[in-house]
Chains A and B, each alone.
Chain A
Amino acid sequence: GAGVSQSPSNKVTEKGKDVELRCDPISGHTALYWYRQSLGQGLEFLIYFQGNSAPDKSGLPSDRFSAERTGGSVSTLTIQRTQQEDSAVYLCASSIRGRSGTEAFFGQGTRLTVV
């Protein structure tokens, strides 16, 4: 597609369930980012993939959060045993290369609500 695609756009889940969020980056982009945007808050960095390098997981808030990027393209963010504080908009972005000065293109996000 022409842009970064995320699915689902909305997800309501019960506390304690696992959820998977998907991101399809722009074709040819080697860098992929996940961010979290909570109500009234800024963008919180979660994880960053660049090519075949080991991902930067320094922003993952707990071991309930994990992410994979298969074949250097599609990425899945998994949240296990969801908690109410996990409710937020999860944003994915990609860039042609993960270097200073390069523009990141964002998807529309997945709005996660944990009830």
Chain B
Amino acid sequence: GDSVTQMEGPVTLSEEAFLTINCTYTATGYPSLFWYVQYPGEGLQLLLKATKADDKGSNKGFEATYRKETTSFHLEKGSVQVSDSAVYFCALNTGTASKLTFGTGTRLQVTL
């Protein structure tokens, strides 16, 4: 079945550091890939998505590129801020399964 594997957290960075959160997937068919973010005390919200190979999703300075050859969708940001502290979830869905399959989440803590 479909699955998503994320790097374990927590990830602790200083402000303005470069961020990478790794995500790899296993899926039947051609999935769409997502990053969701959960800020403290808030619900999950979509951060970015990509629906086909080589697409790059981007939002709020975050980027992720759909790499079919490595089945990966790593999240990157060039310069993190304290306000980026949150839990980040990688997810996928396919036309056949429809439901979103999530990774376990990676907690990011950014300090001054």
A103 in contact with B43 (CB, 8 Å): no
Instruction: For the complex of A and B, list the 7 residue pairs with the smallest distance between their C-beta atoms, beginning with the closest.
Output: A42-B104, A101-B32, A43-B102, A100-B95, A98-B98, A106-B44, A101-B51
Count of chain B residues with a beta carbon within 8 Å of a chain A beta carbon: 24
A33, B98: Cα distance in complex, Å: 10
1/0 contact trace for A93-110 toward B, CB 8 Å? 100001111011111110
| Residue of A43, A45, A48 with highest tally of chain B CB at under 10 A | A43
CB B55 to nearest CB in A, in angstroms, measures 10
B43 in contact with A104 (CB, 8 Å): no
Interface residue ranges, B against A (CB under 8 Å): 30-32, 34, 36, 42-46, 49, 51, 89, 93-95, 98-105
Known contacts A42-B89, A100-B93, A103-B49, A91 near B44 by CB under 8 Å:
yes
Indicate if A41 sits at the interface (CB-CB under 8 A).
Answer: yes
Count of chain A residues with a beta carbon within 8 Å of a chain B beta carbon: 25
CB A49 to nearest CB in B, in angstroms, measures 10
* Beyond A42-B105, A100-B31, A100-B93, 15 additional pairs, beta carbon < 8 A: A4-B43, A31-B98, A33-B100, A48-B99, A59-B99, A93-B44, A98-B99, A99-B98, A100-B94, A100-B95, A101-B32, A101-B93, A104-B46, A105-B45, A105-B46
